[in-house]
């Protein structure tokens, strides 16, 4: 069940991504419409993080292409924002919450210039949106997991983008923080932003998202929640890897065989 | 691929060892010395009847010299090894000790009685090794060495004795010459400043005040204290020149000059003295006598 | 004393040169080194420093001159090459970065020593003074070179200031930086080049073997005093300069003290002192905090015990002997005496021949502790559903830490209880 849309904000065509020649994403083909709050759901190791990292140009593609706003990433960087996983960073760095959020303004300011008062105000406003304005000067190492996640979110907001990729924004986050965040995300999509989230928890998926991608190395389904979030499709996603596909993957890895001729 | 690596490493290993060409073909005794000064002295004693080779060439610092694999091979082939002793060859003591178990290893310094040596530390029994700077003292060592060599090679005893007589008389006149030359410098200006404390015996023998920046060995470091003290001394006493040494870097002396210049006192380098090594072979400075003469000449010219 | 004054006034020209020279030479190192420290690349600075030796030797062998304009570029080449190799090896083989660094460092340095020994055997060798690159010859710095060092320092620091926010970003979150279009690779290249330049210049003061200390140690010391990156850099520079001055002074005051190694020793002492004594993060501070807590707990436990003794007959002003007190609550004897006298001094206790009695303040304080204890027990039993015999130990600790604000919240949420799970009265 893969629904395709006209004028997608994100188009992925025949995408394969490999680690050491072993494909972790096989022939992904999908489109996502503008203005949705989309969730990428799948078991561990399904390639969910890999998908959005590839969309952000952080991982090379073995085949296929990805178009955002019907263009290449390079041309539309200013419109795209990325929230990495919280553990991807060492929080012991000497910086305050405000310092981190200000990083979201670097794209607007440019490389040789310094930040202005206006940037600082935007940053503080974003901290306010995630309920962290009183922590602006706090050292990030002193923040709890949920607070750190909110700082990352505020940083993404500071970019003032139209398309957001978020990697497990609710991992290790307490229930009330999660409520705050999801409310904020829904507010953003109501204003026309598109948000694509890698989500780890099946139970809340149908409540949070209006578009769902079911992923397990290959795309099982992509479409509006009611159509996709069905028992059989979920079973297909979580029912273990396709055995033959896995074996072929192993073979490609052992022989270091190229993915495309 | 693995085979190529093996072959390359074997090749590499072999090419690293020096090959010394037939030293023993002539059948003459092979005497290997450490410094050039010793080689020069021994050559003058044995003449053509033995082959004399020095390990350390011109410009090499004996305090820092570390013997290589090639040196070891040559030393193994020697019949007699003669070194300076008194810890001049600081980094070779272990090797010399090991070799002394297999063949005669003799120190020039042994030919001089301990009470004639400059004492640096009475308790630790550390003495100044730069004995060749006092020509008379060096003569004594040469004299003693000639007797030792004659005892080892009785068949050459006559030649050695004869050579010794003429060489010793050369040394005597050199000694007198140096004395006169140095005396021609007015006392106040008779101050010899060099990179390290090599010229102690020179100072004693020829009534010259001697100062070095580094200590008795170039291994020891010098600090800001040594530099500033020397600068102040030079400026206060209006010393005319300082001297670099051929076997030691002139970095330290340049810093001293720099300091003097900044204090408004212009001083230059009086010349480069042969301290722990002689000049190039084939030149007058490549012999002991020539080297001493050149040194004195430079000193007198600069300080008078 | 006069020596110190003479030194500080920089009267001797060599002192001037050495102090200014070593400060300038290590200035850039402490700045770029801080980034290396934060990026957890401290060891690669060491690799570069050691890898510089063969470059210097090769340059000397080829050009037969000891001019810095020839030797330092040679140093730069092999220094840069070593970093490239570390990167290449860790990305294209099974070896991890730390192994790659260890291998590259040892091989390059070994080659350097071989070349150095070879040079020392040749005539011009000893004159070259190349072995001074091993530990630096700070005492032999020349005035004419100060300008060069100054220019290099200004260059390195300017570029760092220029790219400050980008360097901060790529040191903190590389993936995010790439995602917003920051040229991560190129910027890292710039930072690396600056680091190699800083190392190559700094080597003249402290030498190859000790250079990595000048890169990393100032940042280590500074990290304990601030959580702000800009301030960290400034502090690193400050510590660096102080160490240079002190090291130079020691070399000035005492004969035959090599300047470079002393500078490294001083900056290391700064780092150790910071680790021990920095407020909040220092080891000594942590130990002090532990001690403070223990003494607070002991004092409050004494007051609590006396109050509880008073509760038995509702007579709080009674005097109790030490034995009575210890019977009510077992306390470590040798600590009790000082605690009692401390409490007396602070006005919570009165001491007479018969023993100890609570003052009005003491009664209030003791009452409060007991109250907090029982409130907390109620809270645990109601919200964590713990049995009444499981709540006591926890309350023993928490009673000492609850703030008045938390106390108010507790009461409100428990609906102003009057009794605890053991049916003891909760005093108001």
- Return the residue of C nearest to A114 by Cα: C165
All partners of chain B with 3 or more CB pairs under 8 angstroms: C
- Return the residue of B nearest to C130 by Cα: B249
Same domain (yes/no): C232, C324: no
Encoded tokens for C284: 């000594």
Q: Does A touch B (3+ CB pairs < 8 Å)?
A: no
C22 touches chain B (CB under 8 A): no
Average pLDDT over residues A69-96: 92
SS3 labels along B128-153 = CCCHHHCHHHHHHHHHHHHHHHHHHC
What are the pLDDT digits (tens) for B212-242? 888 777 777 788 888 888 899 899 988 889 9
Task: Find the Cα–Cα–Cα–Cα dihedral C93, C99, C105, C106, rounded to 10°.
Answer: -100
What are the pLDDT digits (tens) for A35-66? 999 999 998 888 999 999 999 999 999 889 99
ipTM: 0.86
Q: What is the pLDDT confidence band of residue C266, given thresholds at 50, 70 and 90?
A: very high
- Judge whether A42 and A229 are in contact, CB under 8 Å: no
Residue C417 has pLDDT above 60, yes or no: yes
Domains present along chain A, CATH in parentheses: 10-255 (3.40.50.300)
User: Higher pLDDT residue, C248 or B14?
Assistant: C248
Asked whether residue C248 is assigned to any structural domain, the reply reads yes
Of B57, B58, B249, the CB nearest to C132: B249
- Mutation choice for A interface testing from C180, C191, C228 by most A CBs within 10 A: C180
Q: Average per-residue pLDDT in chain C? A: 88
Last-in-domain residue among C234, C260, C278 = C278
Same domain (yes/no): C261, C301: no
Asked whether residue C420 is assigned to any structural domain, the reply reads no
Residues in Cβ contact with A30 at an 8 Å cutoff, skipping those fewer than 6 apart? A2, A4, A10, A11, A12, A213, A219, A222
Last-in-domain residue among C250, C278, C306 = C278
Residue B1 has pLDDT above 60, yes or no: no
Residue B59 has pLDDT above 60, yes or no: yes
Q: What is the pLDDT confidence band of residue B19, given thresholds at 50, 70 and 90?
A: very low
C244 touches chain B (CB under 8 A): no
Same domain (yes/no): C56, C36: yes
Asked whether residue C422 is assigned to any structural domain, the reply reads no
Same domain (yes/no): C129, C11: yes
The pLDDT > 90 percentage for chain B reads 28
Contacts of C17 in chain B (CB under 8 A): 255, 258-259, 262
8 Å CB contact of B228 and C15: yes
Residue B119 has pLDDT above 50, yes or no: yes
What are the pLDDT digits (tens) for A203-258? 888 899 999 999 998 899 999 999 999 888 888 888 876 777 778 888 888 877 77
Number of domains in chain C: 2
pLDDT of amino acid B24: 52
pLDDT of amino acid C415: 86
A95 touches chain C (CB under 8 A): yes
Domain that residue C355 falls in: 286-414
Residue C233 has pLDDT above 90, yes or no: yes
Last-in-domain residue among C278, C313, C337 = C278
pLDDT of amino acid C262: 92
Same domain (yes/no): C257, C327: no
Encoded tokens for C186: 């190129």
CATH of the domain at C338: 1.10.10.10
Residue with tokens 């992904």: A28
What are the pLDDT digits (tens) for B143-184? 999 999 888 888 888 889 999 999 999 999 999 999 999 999
Asked whether residue C353 is assigned to any structural domain, the reply reads yes
Asked whether residue C264 is assigned to any structural domain, the reply reads yes
SS3 labels along C87-152 = HHHHHHCCCCHHHHHHHHHHHHHHHHHHHHHHHHHCCCHHHHCCCHHHHCCHHHCCHHHHHHHHHH
Domains present along chain B, CATH in parentheses: 2-174 (3.40.50.1980), 179-303 (3.40.50.1980)
A243: distance to nearest CA of chain C, Å? 29
Residue B22 has pLDDT above 60, yes or no: no
Contacts of C227 in chain A (CB under 8 A): 94-96, 139, 141
Minimal CA–CA distance to A130: which of A179, A80, A201, A91?
A: A179
User: Higher pLDDT residue, A122 or C124?
Assistant: A122
Residue A111 has pLDDT above 90, yes or no: no
Same domain (yes/no): C250, C340: no
Same domain (yes/no): C32, C140: yes
- Return the residue of A nearest to C38 by Cα: A93
- Return the residue of B nearest to C136 by Cα: B221
Asked whether residue C425 is assigned to any structural domain, the reply reads no
Q: What is the pLDDT confidence band of residue B15, given thresholds at 50, 70 and 90?
A: low
CATH of the domain at C260: 1.10.3470.10
Q: A31-35, A101-105, C207-211: lowest mean pLDDT where?
A: C207-211
The pLDDT > 70 percentage for chain A reads 98
pLDDT of amino acid B18: 47
Which residues 253-272 of C are in CB contact (within 8 Å) with B? 253-259
Same domain (yes/no): C320, C367: yes
- Mutation choice for C interface testing from A56, A66, A103 by most C CBs within 10 A: A103
C115 touches chain B (CB under 8 A): no
Same domain (yes/no): C290, C274: no
Same domain (yes/no): C268, C323: no
Same domain (yes/no): C160, C208: yes
8 Å CB contact of C126 and B60: yes
Which residues 121-150 of C are in CB contact (within 8 Å) with B? 121-129, 131-132, 135, 137-144
Residue B3 has pLDDT above 80, yes or no: no
Asked whether residue C428 is assigned to any structural domain, the reply reads no
Residue C231 has pLDDT above 90, yes or no: yes
A155 touches chain C (CB under 8 A): yes
Average pLDDT over residues B41-49: 89
Asked whether residue C427 is assigned to any structural domain, the reply reads no
For residue A139, the 8-state DSSP code is B
pTM value is: 0.79
Same domain (yes/no): C244, C372: no
């Amino acid at each position: 069940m893969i629904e395709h849309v006209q004028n997608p904000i994100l188009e992925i065509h025949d995408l394969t991504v490999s680690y050491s020649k072993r494909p972790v994403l096989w022939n992904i083909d999908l489109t996502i419409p503008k203005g949705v709050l989309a969730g990428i759901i799948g078991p561990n190791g399904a390639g969910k993080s890999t998908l959005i990292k590839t969309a952000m140009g952080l991982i090379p593609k073995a085949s296929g292409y990805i178009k955002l706003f019907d263009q290449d990433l390079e041309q539309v960087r200013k419109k795209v924002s990325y929230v990495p996983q919280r553990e991807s960073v060492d929080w012991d760095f000497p910086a305050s919450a405000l310092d981190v959020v200000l990083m979201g303004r670097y794209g607007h300011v440019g490389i040789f210039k310094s930040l202005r008062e206006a940037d600082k105000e935007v940053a503080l406003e974003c901290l306010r949106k995630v309920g962290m304005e009183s922590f602006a000067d706090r050292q990030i190492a002193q923040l709890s997991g949920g607070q750190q996640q909110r700082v990352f979110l505020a940083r993404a907001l500071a970019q003032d983008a139209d398309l957001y990729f978020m990697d497990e924004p609710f991992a290790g986050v307490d229930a009330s923080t999660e409520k705050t965040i999801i409310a904020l995300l829904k507010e953003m999509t109501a204003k026309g932003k598109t948000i694509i989230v890698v989500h780890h928890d099946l139970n809340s998926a149908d409540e949070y998202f209006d578009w769902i991608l079911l992923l397990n190395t290959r795309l099982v389904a992509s479409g509006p929640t009611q159509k996709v979030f069905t028992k059989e499709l979920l079973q297909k996603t979580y029912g273990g890897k396709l055995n033959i596909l896995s074996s072929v993957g192993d073979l490609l890895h052992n022989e270091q065989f190229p993915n495309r001729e | 691929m693995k085979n190529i690596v093996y072959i390359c490493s074997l090749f590499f290993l072999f090419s690293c060892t020096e090959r010394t060409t037939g030293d023993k073909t002539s059948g003459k005794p092979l005497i290997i010395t450490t410094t050039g000064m010793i080689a020069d002295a021994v050559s003058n004693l044995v003449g053509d009847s033995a082959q004399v080779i020095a390990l350390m060439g011109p410009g090499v610092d004996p305090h820092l010299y570390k013997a290589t694999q090639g040196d070891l091979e040559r030393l193994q082939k020697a019949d007699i090894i003669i070194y300076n002793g008194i810890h001049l060859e600081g980094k070779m003591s272990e090797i010399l000790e090991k070799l002394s178990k297999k063949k005669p290893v003799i120190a020039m310094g042994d030919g001089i009685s301990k009470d004639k040596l400059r004492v640096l530390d009475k308790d630790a029994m550390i003495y100044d090794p730069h004995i060749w700077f006092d020509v008379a003292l060096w003569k004594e060592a040469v004299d003693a060495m000639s007797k030792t060599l004659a005892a080892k090679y009785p068949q050459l005893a006559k030649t050695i004795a004869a050579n010794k007589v003429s060489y010793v008389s050369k040394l005597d006149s050199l000694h007198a010459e140096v004395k006169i030359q140095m005396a021609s410098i007015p006392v106040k200006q008779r101050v010899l400043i060099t990179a390290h404390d090599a010229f102690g015996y020179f100072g004693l023998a020829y009534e010259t005040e001697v100062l070095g920046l580094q200590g008795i060995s170039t291994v020891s470091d010098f600090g800001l204290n040594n530099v500033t003290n020397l600068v102040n001394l030079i400026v206060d006493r209006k010393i005319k020149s300082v001297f670099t040494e051929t076997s030691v870097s002139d970095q330290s002396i340049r810093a001293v000059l720099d300091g003097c210049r900044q204090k408004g006192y212009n001083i230059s380098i009086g010349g480069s003295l042969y301290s722990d090594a002689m000049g190039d072979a084939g030149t007058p400075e490549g012999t002991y006598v020539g080297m001493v003469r050149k040194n004195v000449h430079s000193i007198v010219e600069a300080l008078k | 004393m006069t020596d110190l004054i003479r030194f500080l006034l920089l009267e001797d020209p060599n002192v001037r040169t050495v102090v200014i020279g070593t400060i300038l030479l290590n200035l850039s190192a402490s700045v770029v080194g801080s980034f290396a420290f934060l990026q957890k690349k401290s060891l690669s600075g060491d690799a570069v420093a050691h890898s510089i030796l063969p470059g210097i030797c090769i340059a000397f062998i080829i050009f037969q001159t000891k001019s810095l304009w020839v030797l330092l570029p040679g140093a730069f080449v092999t220094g840069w090459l070593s970093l490239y190799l570390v990167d290449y090896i860790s990305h294209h083989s099974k070896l991890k970065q730390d192994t790659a660094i260890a291998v590259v460092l040892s091989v390059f340095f070994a080659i350097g020593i071989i070349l150095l020994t070879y040079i020392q055997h040749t005539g011009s060798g000893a004159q070259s003074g190349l072995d001074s690159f091993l530990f630096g010859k700070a005492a032999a710095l020349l005035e004419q070179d100060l300008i060069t060092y100054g220019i290099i320092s200004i260059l390195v620091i300017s570029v760092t200031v220029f790219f400050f926010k980008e360097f901060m970003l790529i040191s903190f979150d590389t993936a995010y930086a790439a995602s917003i279009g920051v040229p991560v690779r190129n910027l890292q290249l710039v930072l690396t080049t600056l680091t190699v330049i800083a190392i190559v210049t700094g080597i003249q003061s402290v030498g190859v073997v000790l250079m990595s200390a000048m890169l990393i140690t100032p940042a280590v010391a500074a990290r304990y005093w601030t959580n702000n990156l800009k301030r960290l850099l400034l502090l690193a520079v400050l510590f660096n300069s102080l160490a240079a001055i002190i090291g130079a002074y020691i070399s000035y005051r005492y004969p035959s003290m090599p300047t470079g190694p002393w500078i490294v020793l001083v900056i290391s002492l700064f780092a150790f002192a910071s680790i021990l004594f920095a407020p909040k993060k220092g080891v000594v501070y942590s130990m002090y905090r532990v001690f403070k807590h223990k003494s607070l707990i002991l004092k409050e436990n004494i007051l609590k015990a006396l109050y509880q003794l008073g509760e038995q007959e509702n007579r709080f002003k009674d005097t109790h002997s030490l034995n009575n007190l210890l019977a009510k609550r077992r306390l470590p004897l040798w600590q009790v005496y000082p605690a009692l006298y401390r409490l007396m001094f602070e006005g919570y206790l009165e001491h007479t021949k018969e023993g100890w009695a609570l003052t009005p303040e003491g009664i209030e304080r003791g009452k409060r502790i007991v109250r907090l204890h029982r409130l907390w027990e109620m809270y645990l039993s109601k919200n964590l559903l713990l049995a009444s015999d499981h709540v006591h130990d926890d309350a023993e600790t928490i009673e000492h830490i609850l703030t008045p604000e938390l106390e108010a919240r507790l009461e409100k949420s428990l609906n102003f209880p009057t009794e605890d799970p053991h049916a003891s009265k909760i005093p108001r």
